[in-house]
Structure 1
Amino acid sequence: MALNTKEVGIREVPRIDKWIVLSLQHLFAMFGATILVPYLVGLSPAVALLSSGLGTLAYLLVTRGQVPAYLGSSFAFIAPIIAASTLNGPEGAMVGSFLAGLVYGLIALVIKAYGVNSIMRFLPPIVVGPVIMVIGLGLASVAIDMAMNEPVSGEYSTIHFIVALITLTITVLASMFFKGFFSLVPIMFGIIGGYLSALMFGLVDFQPVLDASWFAAPDVIVPFVTYVPAFSWEIAFIMVPIAVVTIAEHIGDQMVLSKVVGKDFIKKPGLHRSILGDGVATIIASFLGGPPNTTYGENIGVLAITRVFSVFVIAGAAVLAVAFSFVGKFAALISTIPTAVMGGVSILLFGVIASSGLRMLIDNEINIGLKRNLIISSVILVIGIGGAFIQVNDNIEIAGMALATIIGIILHLILPEKAVSYGKKTMFESE
């Protein structure tokens, strides 16, 4: 339920006690998803919290304190980070994240100069929707492997699968039946409930928490300090196309946020500023070893329920995230979460990502019965999920989601009757 019944404006500062509670509420809303991403890709959850907090503060500065949005780990980059890390370790993934952040900046400049349709004419719902579905469905095997198999041996484990199913059940029940703010944090309830069930089955080793100190600096990965970054065309092809898709998602988030708050953030402070803020936050994450950042729907939900739009509350949540990243026992506790628990949560979460792509097609009233739309969506889905790739040379490979995105855009540009791929009239409609 809402902690505040009176609307608090964007520039209002709540009383200190309410300020802390409301900021904690935002932190809890983003916490489960933000730590899940680094857990899945082998990065530090503590660093993810640090980069999330610093990225949000940077976002607020870039948008001149006019957009109450919190940024957390992006799920769209899970598979690309895993692929980039396989090629060049986590350092390679950070180089890719940096390049993705630069793309945000470049597109922000284009939007500032030529308007949003200059970009969105290349990204109709018939391209973006199926690519989002590929992002979710492409990770399905990862979720099932974590849920069913023993992490060390990789063999099937009934106990692990039971814990995963318990976690999934709790997450589903929390999503369906909890009301108000609690309905926004089903991942948190799922992880906590799954963790307790794993504890009962003896899958949790609590010793690392006991051994950890209360204060510990996050294990950051800093370019030219802990490693020397090296450019790779293959990593660029893996990461950069996904940034184009997440920008389309960002625009959707900004439209929803504008409706919730009652202000047109597309016009003021301008879409170019919010996209640039996303890019700066992602670059900050790449300098620290965290996953790329993006605006969070959970936090938009918190704004809608509480009617507290204060950027000072958002900034407070960011500061708390940074503070938590330096609590050693907290980071150790996250590391003790069994993979089965994360697998159980991921079964629902990755499905929700895929379903959100389907929802984009439905919301925009895309007629899949039309040959143009059927062809584009079908090709994107099979190439993306099937794992197709183009081997340019021994060092460069364009694969998976990146290849599906590129081919989807090309098909949209060359096939006739472009208007049908935009569905109902929106700001994304081709001019």
Structure 2
Amino acid sequence: MSEKVLDVNEKPQPVRWLALSLQHMFAMFGATILVPQLVGLSPAIALLTSGIATLVFIAVTKFQVPAYLGSSFAFIIPIQIATTTGGIGSAMIGSMFVALVYAIVSLVIWKTGYRWIMKILPPIVVGPVIMVIGLAIAPTAINMASMIQVDGQDVYSGLHFSAALVTLASAVFCLMFFKGIISLMPVLIGIVVGYIYSAAIGILDFSQVVEAKWFAVPDMLIPGVDYSFVVTPTLLIIMVPIAIVTIAEHIGHQLVLGKVVERNYIDNPGLHRSLLGDGIGTLISGMVGGPPKTTYGENIGVLAITRVYSVYVIVGAAVFAIFFSFLGKVMALIATIPQAVLGGISILLFGIIASSGMRMLIDHKIDFDNQRNLVIASIILVIGIGGATIKFSPTFEVGGMALAAIVGVVLNLVLPGRKDDTLMDE
């Protein structure tokens, strides 16, 4: 492994600190603001809460884990469903209960150890569920890329689709032909190039930028003020089971990050601390109207390339994110990004999410000649992508990704022939 430039608790020089922190902020920027735009939340509040959640995470993990927390893609469909059935407030309430699940799991891990959760979430369950996250929302990406609203109807627009294709091509070019930091920011670069192209073909509206103030407090959604705090079984079943996926994602990121910085984060400061930090960040985000949080692979990639592991650089990135969220004109400019541009980048991003699930199966050498593995993966994929639903009453149902995750866990526990194959490298 290459020699580290700065270790976890070392501080860089001020000018270098500034540059390195900005680099981390831009690495997470595109994906963090994309999620709220897909689910109808404020990009400013997503940016603000990502910074706050990161600072909380670093404090809870005792300044030992240099991880950045951004908007989670796993909750896009659940938030959309919750919003459709009960308003955006329902999605925020669901997010808070997801945070509660994190807290409970972290408490149990603290008392009993982490091996049990590794056995509940083996690759044969987590891999297909991650594939469902990317593939189930694929039609949304295509619709955003090629359709516009005309008199309340979706109408195909070749002009807007061209913007989506330019955005997609730019992101792919960035991934394939650049190295270093540039290759870690395909989302941001794709959006920038797509935006410039959109301006050239005349599909942008800058009126809101002109009207926006230079300084503006992000639009918050406060429970009991902006919406009624009402908890329903349907809401919980839509949102809470997705924690199965995000906890597995969290564990994977901690393992990868540990390898990069040459530490065992599962043992010290402990999986219970990192999960709790993630959960508290998600709770704070939900309480003010932001999306659920997760550690970002993009920033782990930046750590690996720069070999600067300093937790203070991540703190700097979080502070920059908080600062940018209060720049009204910057946030208004972000709001002018055409849906076609977001759709173009989503084609790649959702595909990468699905492919990462496939990669997990390959990396763990899952044998599909084994009928047990074939059955579990097949059922998860069809239930999740097909949107299967079980209705217990007119107001209570379980479906889609949540049902797929639950069924996957149950099948893994009850079908004979289970092997000791976990996410952790034994």
Do the two structures share a fold, i.e. TM-score over 0.5? yes
Look up the match of 1:244: 244
Look up the match of 2:216: 216
Secondary structure (helix, strand or coil) at the match of 1:264 reads coil
- 8 Å CA contact 2:4–2:309 kept in 1: the answer is no
- 8 Å CA contact 2:171–2:187 kept in 1: the answer is yes
Deviations 1:234-291 (A, max 9, x none): 1110111111111011101000000000111111100110011110110011011111
Counterpart residue type for residue 106 of structure 1:
I
Look up the match of 1:95: 93
Shift in CA distance, 261/6, structure 1 to aligned 2, threshold 3 Å = closer
1:427 aligns with 2:385: no
1:299 aligns with 2:299: yes
Q: How far does residue 426 in structure 1 lie from its aligned partner after superposition? A: 5.7
Query: In terms of mean alpha carbon deviation, does 229-238 or 46-55 score higher?
Result: 229-238
C-alpha separation between the residues in 2 aligned to 1:239 and 1:426? 23
Percentage of identical aligned residues: 58
- 8 Å CA contact 1:217–1:326 kept in 2: the answer is yes
- 8 Å CA contact 1:8–1:308 kept in 2: the answer is yes
Deviations 1:20-41 (A, max 9, x none): 1111000000000000000100
Counting matched residue pairs gives: 423
Deviations 1:214-235 (A, max 9, x none): 0000001011232231111111
- 8 Å CA contact 2:25–2:320 kept in 1: the answer is yes
- 8 Å CA contact 1:62–1:273 kept in 2: the answer is yes
Counterpart residue type for residue 143 of structure 2:
D
Q: Where does structure 2 lack aligned partners over 5 or more consecutive residues?
A: none
- 8 Å CA contact 2:132–2:381 kept in 1: the answer is yes
Look up the match of 1:184: 184
Secondary structure (helix, strand or coil) at the match of 1:418 reads coil
Counterpart residue type for residue 25 of structure 1:
Q
Counterpart residue type for residue 67 of structure 1:
V
Counterpart residue type for residue 135 of structure 2:
L
Deviations 1:72-112 (A, max 9, x none): 00001100010111111110000000000011111111111
Look up the match of 1:37: 35
Look up the match of 2:164: 164
C-alpha separation between the residues in 2 aligned to 1:206 and 1:50? 23
Instruction: Report the TM-score when normalising by structure 2.
Output: 0.97
C-alpha separation between the residues in 2 aligned to 1:41 and 1:368? 36
Secondary structure (helix, strand or coil) at the match of 2:254 reads helix
The 5-angstrom pairing of residues 386-397 of structure 1 reads 386-397=386-397
Shift in CA distance, 6/418, structure 1 to aligned 2, threshold 3 Å = closer
1:60 aligns with 2:61: no
Deviations 1:144-171 (A, max 9, x none): 0001101454111111111111111001
Deviations 1:315-353 (A, max 9, x none): 111111011100000110011000000000000000000
Secondary structure (helix, strand or coil) at the match of 1:419 reads coil
Q: How far does residue 142 in structure 1 lie from its aligned partner after superposition? A: 0.2
The 5-angstrom pairing of residues 71-220 of structure 1 reads 71-152=69-150, 153-220=153-220
Deviations 1:42-72 (A, max 9, x none): 1000000011000000001110111000000
- 8 Å CA contact 2:255–2:424 kept in 1: the answer is no
Q: How far does residue 120 in structure 1 lie from its aligned partner after superposition? A: 2.0
- 8 Å CA contact 2:32–2:46 kept in 1: the answer is yes
Instruction: Report the TM-score when normalising by structure 1.
Output: 0.96
- 8 Å CA contact 2:282–2:292 kept in 1: the answer is yes
Q: Where does structure 1 lack aligned partners over 5 or more consecutive residues?
A: none
Counterpart residue type for residue 163 of structure 1:
A
- 8 Å CA contact 2:50–2:69 kept in 1: the answer is yes
Look up the match of 1:277: 277
- 8 Å CA contact 2:127–2:360 kept in 1: the answer is yes
- 8 Å CA contact 1:171–1:187 kept in 2: the answer is yes
Look up the match of 2:417: 417
Counterpart residue type for residue 370 of structure 1:
N
Look up the match of 1:378: 378
- 8 Å CA contact 1:7–1:308 kept in 2: the answer is yes
Counterpart residue type for residue 116 of structure 1:
Y
Q: How far does residue 124 in structure 1 lie from its aligned partner after superposition? A: 1.1
C-alpha separation between the residues in 2 aligned to 1:417 and 1:111? 26
Secondary structure (helix, strand or coil) at the match of 1:398 reads strand
C-alpha separation between the residues in 1 aligned to 2:354 and 2:90? 27
1:28 to 26, 29, 43: 26
Counterpart residue type for residue 233 of structure 1:
P
Q: How far does residue 428 in structure 1 lie from its aligned partner after superposition? A: 7.2
1:48 aligns with 2:46: yes
Counterpart residue type for residue 309 of structure 1:
Y
- 8 Å CA contact 2:135–2:354 kept in 1: the answer is yes
Q: Structure 1 segments of 4 or more deviating over 4 A?
A: none
Deviations 1:129-156 (A, max 9, x none): 0000000000100000001101454111
C-alpha separation between the residues in 2 aligned to 1:308 and 1:16? 14
C-alpha separation between the residues in 1 aligned to 2:83 and 2:74? 15
- 8 Å CA contact 1:120–1:428 kept in 2: the answer is no
C-alpha separation between the residues in 1 aligned to 2:234 and 2:140? 22
Q: How far does residue 13 in structure 1 lie from its aligned partner after superposition? A: 1.4
- 8 Å CA contact 1:125–1:360 kept in 2: the answer is yes
Deviations 1:403-428 (A, max 9, x none): 011111111111100017x2xx7637
